[in-house]
Amino acid sequence: MRRAFESVIAAWSVIQRYAAAIVMIAMTALYAFNVLVRALFPQFAAHLAWIDEGARYMMVWIVFLAAGVALETGRHVLIDLLWQRWSERTRRAVFALIDVVGLAFSLYMVALAIQLTLFIARSGQISPTLGIPAYVLYVAPAVGFASLALLYLARLFGMRDARRKPVVAEWLGTGGS
């Protein structure tokens, strides 16, 4: 069971990293193209108004996809002034408390995000320039917080916990600062 759970987390982590990277590259390319067109061919700028809204949608998705990557790799904020002085037992207890609270909060946020997404979907709201259903934007928090919940659960079972065992992966390089 543990091995299957680890496999699911590993697969989701890869999907999440690549999705965030691809969306970020696409957003950057679209926005750069938009700036070039506005600077060189201002007469066509009105036809590209959808890029601004698309970039905002993409940014929201990047934030919520990257939240899980940051948690998995230990890149979330950690105030280590005290915990380095604590005993291993105290540290484990505090980390477990953080993970339980993080799991509970993330699950609560998933529930709220799903409610909001369904509300927006039922309203039939359409994005003004993209012409896509507005609920697409509201799915991102549900996905992001579900990812965080999965990772907090994994950390409770001692898996993928960068606080105890730093994550070293090819895609991460040497681990950086």
Q: Coil, helix or strand for 133?
A: strand
- Burial category of 53 from C-beta neighbours within 10 Å (exposed 0-12, middle 13-18, buried 19 and up): middle
What's the pLDDT score for residue 177?
47
What's the pLDDT score for residue 173?
57
| Cβ within 8 Å of residue 142, ≥6 positions away | 110, 113, 114, 117
Residue type, position 144, single letter: G
pTM of model > 0.75: yes
Find out whether 15 and 22 touch, Cβ atoms under 8 Å.
no
CA distance 123 to 143: 21
Q: Coil, helix or strand for 1?
A: coil
Sign of torsion over alpha carbons 83, 77, 9, 174 = negative
Q: pLDDT digit string (tens) for 50-76?
A: 999 999 999 999 999 999 999 988 888
Spell out the domain ranges in the chain. Answer: 2-172
Find out whether 69 and 17 touch, Cβ atoms under 8 Å.
yes
What's the pLDDT score for residue 60?
97
Q: Residue 27's CB: how many other CB atoms inside 10 A?
A: 19
Q: pLDDT digit string (tens) for 140-158?
A: 999 999 999 999 999 998 8
pLDDT tens per residue across all 177 residues of the chain: 889 999 999 899 999 999 999 999 999 999 999 999 999 999 999 999 999 999 999 999 999 999 999 998 888 877 777 877 889 899 889 989 999 999 999 999 999 999 999 999 999 999 999 999 999 999 999 999 999 999 999 999 888 777 766 666 565 555 444
